[in-house]
Amino acid sequence: MLRPNGFRILCISFANLLAGIAEAAFLVISTGIALGVTTSDSSLEIFSRFDMEITTSLWLAGAFIFAKFTLGTIALWLQSGLTESVVVHQRLKITELYFGSTWEAQQDAPTGHLQHLLLGFSQEISGLLNSFNQGLSSMLSLMALIGVALFVDPFSTLIAGFALLILGIALSPIRKAIAQRSKRTASSQLDFAHGIAEYSSLGIAIQSYGVSEPVKQNLGRLLKVEGKARRKMEFTLQTITPVYIASAYIFILIALSIVSRNETMSLDKIGPVALLMLRGLTYGQSVYFFLALKRAMTGTFEQLNSTMDFYSKNKLRTGREEVTGFNSLTFDGVTFSHKNGTEIIKNASFRMKHGEILGLSGESGSGKTTILELICGLRSPDHGCILINETNLELINLNSWQKNYSLVTQEPRLISGSATDNIKFFRNNISIEDIEKAAQDALYLSDSSTHLNNLEMHQIGEAGSQLSGGQKQRLSLARALASKPPLLLLDEPTASLDIESEEKICETLNNLRGKVSILIVSHSENVLKICDRVIYLEGNSIISTDSSSKIES
């Protein structure tokens, strides 16, 4: 995650190291000054080696404070840049992987996970990176302090360094416990994110069935599980500090008892070393806290990695052959099952020619929508093949195929914005004339609610919440017509319309006869009447096509 930021991290480390050295030097000089004042000498012995005037030492100490402050601020500034870069990079990577994955994979991912990934994870990562700076700067300051202390008194410094190491080892079981608890916390957070996303999309169903109480209780349960898991993890994480401090104090006591027996030690050595060690202990504390905090992210990182893994494994693969126009569509012995093993389409064969209006009918759950998804390349057959203009769909570049058809899904998928935004649907090459024509053909404009007639100005609400079911369906149809594709795939496009509107839509489709090929899923007599042929599905097989066509399955 930090790899692309190597240079930035190097700069942060360097600035922190210099800041640490400046601080260590300040501490040594200032204890020297304090000792000098008590012995009323006008010159000092710094590092037990250099003689220096008190005034010079004061200036020098001041210069070191300034250096420490400036370098520390530079490190902080670089650090905020690092956090920004990592968070943005990570979010872009997840977004890219998500949108680059197959539709099946996107459908399989539980609701709310992507949002949680993009918001929750990024926040945690930025929290960790902030403490990374503290941990890193403490680590380097500690190294600088140890370096300076080694210069003053190697023996005591080595003992203190050894004590710090023992402390680190002693804290390791706590860090392991934190990692375990972090996994539990992260998975309960995901459950909660999924719950809130799912329940909040149920709106009217919850209200009309009067089930807000049990829904609230379910959410409350998820919240409590998450809260408990988080509390346990945070408690364990926070114990790092008191355990560290208590153990460090015990070491100090031991060190003092050794020093008190050693009469050869002089005050000018013990003074600076003691001060450096005390400061070193605080640095050690933030280093160990950072290491523990890193463990507290174990669950989060594991989920992040497994999710990114999932999307990379389910990358959308596409062929190279370009499609220009639509001549024919052939299903040749196509069999398709969902991952759970249910066979939906069994050995289906049929052919559709250019300019044909083909109906697809059959009982609910018989696989009509699945056939449309297969044609779009959203799903791939397990056996058999789908040919577009005699080329296997697997070899075709899906992007170029998408430009040749429009799919009107069974449930309209609308975006918040105006009717124009929805008809245009991110396709900037569609002109305003095409939008108006499509809205007219799809009867969106002839709606008796006159406020809809202002395509540009009228905001339709989130996911078309201010429209009726039929209006949403007509808007979806307008979206499909606007790009004037050679093939229209319509999944029960008139299911929410009154008879009169349905007849008018049929008229629109009839007017396209010969120019546009249309595959239309419907149960309606009116719609099936305009079809050149109708394929009927039952169970998972094509059972018959109407009189004018041949059965090929």
Q: How many CA atoms lie within 13 A of 211 on its CB side?
A: 12
482 vs 534 by CB, closer to ligand ADP? 534
122 vs 366 by CB, closer to Mg ion? 366
Residue 360 Cβ, how far from ligand ADP at the closest point, in Å?
9
DSSP annotation of 334: E
**56 is in the binding site of which of ligand ADP, Mg ion, none (Cβ under 5 to 8 A by kind)?**
none
Burial pattern 350-363, b for ≥16 Cβ within 10 A else e, equals: bebebbbbbbbbbe
Site mask for ligand ADP (CB under 6 A), range 99-138, x = bound: --------x-------------------------------
369 vs 483 by CB, closer to Mg ion? 369
**367 is in the binding site of which of ligand ADP, Mg ion, none (Cβ under 5 to 8 A by kind)?**
ligand ADP
Residue entry with tokens 């640095």: 283
31 vs 369 by CB, closer to Mg ion? 369
CA neighbor of 445 nearest in space, from 504, 490, 515: 504
Residue entry with tokens 């002089």: 266
Residue 371 Cβ, how far from ligand ADP at the closest point, in Å?
7
CA neighbor of 411 nearest in space, from 525, 499, 483, 496: 496
Q: Which of residues 320-339 bind ligand ADP (CB under 6 A)?
A: 338
**42 is in the binding site of which of Mg ion, ligand ADP, none (Cβ under 5 to 8 A by kind)?**
none
**428 is in the binding site of which of ligand ADP, Mg ion, none (Cβ under 5 to 8 A by kind)?**
none
- Bridge partners of 482? none
DSSP annotation of 412: -
CB neighbour list of residue 497: distance below 8 Å, 6 or more residues apart = 470, 473, 474, 505
**Long-range CB contacts (within 8 A, 24+) of 428-436:** 430/482, 430/483, 434/482, 434/483, 434/484, 435/478, 435/482
User: Residue 175, interface with ligand ADP (CB under 6 A)?
Assistant: no
Residues 314, 392 contacting (CB under 8 angstroms): no
- Bridge partners of 360? 521, 535
Q: Which of 344, 358, 452, 490 touches ligand ADP by CB under 6 A?
A: 344
135 vs 362 by CB, closer to ligand ADP? 362
Residue 368 Cβ, how far from Mg ion at the closest point, in Å?
5
Site mask for ligand ADP (CB under 6 A), range 66-105, x = bound: ----------------------------------------
Residue 1 CB burial class (10 angstroms; 0-12, 13-18, ≥19): middle
The phi and psi torsions of 515 (rounded to 5 degrees) equal -90, -40
Which residues of the chain form contacts with Mg ion (CB under 5 A)?
A: 369, 410
Q: Which of residues 28-67 bind ligand ADP (CB under 6 A)?
A: none
**266 is in the binding site of which of Mg ion, ligand ADP, none (Cβ under 5 to 8 A by kind)?**
none
**340 is in the binding site of which of Mg ion, ligand ADP, none (Cβ under 5 to 8 A by kind)?**
ligand ADP
410 vs 418 by CB, closer to Mg ion? 410
Q: How many CA atoms lie within 13 A of 107 on its CB side?
A: 8
Distances (CA, A) of 501 to 170, 288, 443, 448: 77, 70, 8, 12
CA neighbor of 171 nearest in space, from 113, 236, 243, 115: 243
372 vs 435 by CB, closer to Mg ion? 372
CA neighbor of 12 nearest in space, from 132, 148, 145, 147: 132
Residues 388, 396 contacting (CB under 8 angstroms): yes
Residue 370 Cβ, how far from ligand ADP at the closest point, in Å?
3
Q: Which amino acid is at 156?
A: S
Site mask for ligand ADP (CB under 6 A), range 351-380, x = bound: -------------xxxxxxx----------
- Taking CB atoms, the residue at the shortest distance from ligand ADP is 369
Q: Which of 264, 342, 428, 429 touches ligand ADP by CB under 6 A?
A: 342
158 vs 543 by CB, closer to ligand ADP? 543
Q: Could you give the CA distance from residue 397 to residue 243 in angstroms, rounded to a whole number?
A: 61
129 vs 360 by CB, closer to ligand ADP? 360
325 vs 365 by CB, closer to ligand ADP? 365
368 vs 504 by CB, closer to ligand ADP? 368
**330 is in the binding site of which of ligand ADP, Mg ion, none (Cβ under 5 to 8 A by kind)?**
none
- Bridge partners of 534? 359
Size of the site for ligand ADP (CB under 6 A): 12
Residues 350, 553 contacting (CB under 8 angstroms): yes
Residue entry with tokens 């100490």: 61
User: Residue 346, interface with ligand ADP (CB under 6 A)?
Assistant: no
Q: Which amino acid is at 334?
A: V
**257 is in the binding site of which of ligand ADP, Mg ion, none (Cβ under 5 to 8 A by kind)?**
none
**366 is in the binding site of which of Mg ion, ligand ADP, none (Cβ under 5 to 8 A by kind)?**
ligand ADP
- Taking CB atoms, the residue at the shortest distance from Mg ion is 369
Residue 534 Cβ, how far from ligand ADP at the closest point, in Å?
14
Question: Helix, strand, coil proportions of the chain in percent (round to 5)?
Answer: 65, 15, 25
Residue 478 Cβ, how far from Mg ion at the closest point, in Å?
21
Residue 491 Cβ, how far from Mg ion at the closest point, in Å?
6
HEC string for 471-530: HHHHHHHHHHHHCCCCEEEEECCCCCCCHHHHHHHHHHHHHCCCCCEEEEECCCHHHHHC
User: Residue 341, interface with ligand ADP (CB under 6 A)?
Assistant: no
Residues of this chain that interact with ligand ADP (CB under 6 A) are: 107, 338, 340, 342, 344, 364-370
